Amino acid sequence: MRPTEFVLHLPEGGTSPIYLCVAAALGRAIKAGALAPGDPLPGTRALADQLGVNRKTVIAAFEELEIEGWVESRASSGTFVAALVPASWPGHWDPNLPHESPDFELMTQLTPLSETAQGVMDFRDGLPDPRLLPVDALAQAYHRALRRREGALMHVGEIQGEAGYRRAISSWLGERRGILLGPEGILSTGGSTQGLELLVRAFVKDGGVVAMERPGSPAMREAILRTGVEVLGLPVDSGGLVLESLESILGRVPIRLLYLTPHHQFPTGVTLAPERRVQLMDWAAQHRFVVVEDDGDFEFHVGARPPLPMAAQDPKGRVITLGSFSRLLAPGLRLGFIAAQPALVEKLARLRQRLDLYGDRVMERAVGDLLRGGELPRFIRKARLAYQARREHILERLSAWPGARFDRHGGLGIWIQWDGDWGMGPWLKACAARSLRLSPGTAYDPSGTLVNALRLGFGGHSKVEIDQALDLMEQLAPWRRGGG
């Protein structure tokens, strides 16, 4: 079916014949997807009238496109976009098309986009597996929320988030983590990165500094940098954040916020030692900085019940909890929360209203229903067993890798280190060339010191997919070629 409305723009100042300018403009529309493979081209009369040119000019442009392989004519049917258009741009077409990307200078440190191409095995992060999600239960809950009170949730509403969602989160945190705040202490966010950026904007003024673990999350570091403040990395050892590194700068450096992943430190997986937690909370109160506790994978612990969050042991309210259902249920579910003292949440909600206005109230209600109905706890039990089996399977295979050191921490990723300098870079490049994406230690440490470390994020992959990745890594590994 021919497009009933199709707008084509010819740039001014073209030096090529007009029919070639029309052909180039149509080629650009094809490249941009405005005309997809198999689509009919607009009628020659209508296009000629729109452009203010002779119909013969448009017919000549169509013939040019056909000669170059961009379109094909069908008897008694018309002219259609070719199923496979050429990759190169004809040199004799209007040089003003296609437009080159502008060379903008961006005021932030952006990381490359993740590969999403089919066939790519991405083990860089350690996100949850959407295939484990109770999709039917979520769909039913979403449908109920959508129909609730004749679509009332589709209107704007509470700036703190949907009331039922906040009640469910507060009950969940009280029962499972000992964090007692009530629904007034919950603020819905579009995920943990949005939550952290909101907190930095709220607490860190000009000249203030945000401290975080080093190595640490590149995504969260980027979220902080987007606010325009300075980030200070503090080292991590087997007991979590090294307190001496923080103690040495307190009082000299204006730290306003400390971002931590104390349960499973990202990316190493270590747990912050109990005595360090107590000391941090004392320092936070004494030096008046905020501790943001991000325990996105708290539920995927190994062994006995995990230690209580710092927020559950914080009598002075200096610890704020950052939560994410993107890292609990599925990465495409952009939903999270901030848990803090109600007076603070009220102020944060007003700031969030300026930045994001309202979230997805229908999805908030649906997730809240899963929490209240018990479906989510059942999912967590099932997912924990699945991830534990995958982790143990990987650790068994890693035990045969020469020189590899790793620990049996929880979470959805495994931190692997090697002694010496045996050139990990070429190995990772060889894996990438075979469509296997891996994260070296240098990706988590701006100083670039972790040259022989690797995070293997396994959460989103089945055992079969994990074996495929490990088989390829072993096949290309330097020790198979007699390397260190």
pLDDT grade, residue 105 (50/70/90)? low
Extract long-range pairs of 369-374: CB within 8 Å, 24+ residues apart: 369/141, 369/144, 369/145, 369/164, 369/168, 370/134, 370/137, 370/138, 370/141, 371/168, 371/169, 371/171, 371/172, 372/164, 372/168, 372/171, 373/137, 373/141
Count the neighbouring beta carbons within 10 Å of the beta carbon of residue 429: 10
User: What is the arithmetic mean of pLDDT over 145-149?
Assistant: 79
Confidence grade of residue 187 (pLDDT, cut at 50, 70, 90): very high
Please tell me the predicted confidence (pLDDT) of residue 32.
Answer: 86
Domains plus CATH for the chain? 1-105 (1.10.10.10), 121-129+383-481 (3.90.1150.10), 131-377 (3.40.640.10)
DSSP per position, 463-474: HHHHHHHHHHHH
pLDDT in tens, 412-444: 999 999 887 677 888 999 999 999 999 899 899
What mean pLDDT do residues 395-408 have?
90
Q: From start to end of 359-452, where are the E strands?
A: 404-405, 413-418, 436-437, 439-440
Q: Residue 115 has what pLDDT?
A: 46
pTM over 0.75, yes/no? yes
* Mean of pLDDT values over 452-457: 91
